Amino acid sequence: MSALAELGLAPVINAAGTVTRLSGGILAPEVRAAMAEAASACFDMLELQAAASREIVAATGAEAGIVTGGASAALLLGAAACLAGLDPVAMNALPAAGERCEFIVSRSQRNMYDRALEVAGGRIVEVGIPDRFSGAGVRDASVGEVAAAIGPRTAAVFWVAQPWSEPSLAEVVRVAHAAGVPVLVDAAAQLPPVANLRGFLDAGADLVAFSGGKAIGGPQASGILAGRRPLVASALLQMLDLDVPDAQFRLPPEFAGNTALPFLPRHGIGRSCKAGKEEVVGLLVALRRFVAEGDAARQARMLARLDAVRAAMGAVPAEIAQGPTPLLLLRCADPAAAAQVEAALRARRVHVNQGRMRDGVLVVHPAALAEADLVPLGQALAAAFASAQKAG
Ligand SMILES: *Cc1c(COP(=O)(O)O)cnc(C)c1O
């Protein structure tokens, strides 16, 4: 009997995307094999993270990188690095807020993931008013407002990456760096395109967080923190088990060695952010595959999935929305009709993306679908639309 059956667990069809609520995506056989290989031996975690840094540097152009337990973990660790630098006294004190504890962020970029900064000991300072929301205004935060908020209490400027984020990263970097303040970027879900692995760092970001379990195709509980070496070294020191005598500890050259470290801190604020060896190795193999496949091949692979779903869907009207990841849009009569179809699908253990349900649109996201899901998904969509039409 399989372990899942023994536990009374059955999978769902996940057409919602690599969302955490539905356990992320499906790992490629090469990634699963690498994780099994890692699981069958023990390693020195410093050597594992040094290898991770070499791979992440090759993929991103960063000075250094580490694998964390997710992008949220990478944000917590990145914040801790901005707060403490390489000062072990400051590391040991977190999450108690020190003098320099503020993270400046455009009010329009606030989201539920930014509490990771507060968990580390940061305080969020909002600037700007996204008055476009009222329908009357045209402005978001201006770079002048960001610059004016920077002061002796500023630990970093926090920037949440979206194609429409304001002010632009380049502008934020200019004023932050002029004041000697780092810029921490949440780019958790900004892949593909592959170019974004480098783009935010090229624009001057000091630290960038990516999810490993989203488009990269790594384990669900993995993430990347990449950027400037002293900050990444600080993040690593605050995540690792440091329960060794001071004199024994050697930070690998990938993280610039022990150079600026007067003494070894205790287990840090990032202990809860740790990635296991399976996650580290799985993520690195997934990252190689993600870069090697490239955007065009990946897009074609995703489109082929959507075509297969459509072919099994019969007469249900649907259209492809092009984008970094192509999507299948199913337009319903109104939001209530969309909710009805969505509920009918869930009753069949099928989950579609509800991000546009307010517009009466259900979205089929191809990233987390198994090949074996495609025909059953198309059939479930046909049946759900038919039953909703009957009921409506
Ligand atoms: C998904 C996401 C996160 C969290 O990523 P995890 O890898 O699940 O921890 C953080 N920020 C944004 C914007 C996200 O989309």
Domain boundaries, the chain: 3-19+294-391, 42-275
Can you tell me whether residue 144 is helix, strand or coil? helix
Q: Cα of 208 to ligand 1 centre, how many Å? A: 12
Residue identifier of the C-alpha nearest atom 5 of ligand 1? 71
In this prediction, residue 390 carries a pLDDT of 76
Give the distance, in angstroms, between the CA of residue 353 and the centroid of all CA atoms in the same chain.
Answer: 18
Rounded Cα–Cα distance for residues 282 and 34 (Å): 6
In this prediction, residue 134 carries a pLDDT of 82
Domains 3-19+294-391 and 42-275 share a fold: no
Q: Cα of 249 to ligand 1 centre, how many Å? A: 32
Give the ligand 1 atom nearest the CA of 116: 10
Lowest mean pLDDT among 23-27, 122-126, 130-134, 242-246: 130-134
Give the distance, in angstroms, between the CA of residue 201 and the centroid of all CA atoms in the same chain.
Answer: 16
Q: Cα of 382 to ligand 1 centre, how many Å? A: 32
Can you tell me whether residue 14 is helix, strand or coil? strand
Q: Cα of 281 to ligand 1 centre, how many Å? A: 20
- What mean pLDDT do residues 229-255 have? 95
In 3D space, the residue among 388, 379, 335, 340 whose CA is nearest the CA of residue 357 turns out to be 335
Give the ligand 1 atom nearest the CA of 213: 7
- What mean pLDDT do residues 254-278 have? 92
Tens digit of pLDDT for each residue in 68-108?
999 999 999 999 999 999 999 999 999 998 899 999 999 99
- What mean pLDDT do residues 206-211 have? 98
- What mean pLDDT do residues 266-277 have? 96
**203: its two tokens:** 């624009």
Half-sphere exposure for 139 (CA within 13 Å, toward CB): 8
Q: Cα of 351 to ligand 1 centre, how many Å? A: 20
What DSSP string describes 76-130?
HHHHHHHHHTT-HHHHHHTTS--SS-EEEEEGGG--GGGHHHHHTT-EEEEE---
Confidence band for 387, pLDDT divided at 50, 70 and 90: confident
User: φ, ψ for residue 247 (rounded to 5)?
Assistant: -65, -20
Best residue for ligand 1 mutational test, from 19, 68, 106, 113 (most atoms within 8 Å of Cβ): 113
Q: Cα of 72 to ligand 1 centre, how many Å? A: 6
Radius of gyration of the chain (CA): 23
Tens digit of pLDDT for each residue in 276-308?
999 999 999 999 999 999 999 999 999 999 999
Lowest mean pLDDT among 52-66, 132-146, 200-214, 347-361: 132-146
Question: Does residue 131 surpass a pLDDT of 90?
Answer: no
Q: Cα of 190 to ligand 1 centre, how many Å? A: 10
Q: CB under 8 Å to 137, separation ≥6 — which residues?
A: 129, 130, 131
Rounded Cα–Cα distance for residues 79 and 207 (Å): 9
Confidence (pTM): 0.97
The dotted CATH code for 42-275 is 3.40.640.10
**Cis geometry, peptide bond prior to residue 167 (ω within 30 degrees of 0):** yes
Give the ligand 1 atom nearest the CA of 111: 13
| Ligand 1, pocket residues at CB < 6 Å | 20, 70-72, 113, 186, 188-189, 211, 213, 223
In this prediction, residue 339 carries a pLDDT of 96
In this prediction, residue 1 carries a pLDDT of 79
CATH superfamily of 3-19+294-391: Aspartate Aminotransferase, domain 1 (3.90.1150.10)
Give the ligand 1 atom nearest the CA of 160: 13
Q: Backbone dihedral region of 256: left (phi > 0), alpha (psi from -120 to 50 degrees) or beta?
A: left
**Percentage with pLDDT > 90 across the chain:** 92
In this prediction, residue 392 carries a pLDDT of 59
Residue identifier of the C-alpha nearest atom 15 of ligand 1? 189
Give just the sign of the alpha carbon dihedral 292, 298, 304, 310: positive
In this prediction, residue 386 carries a pLDDT of 92
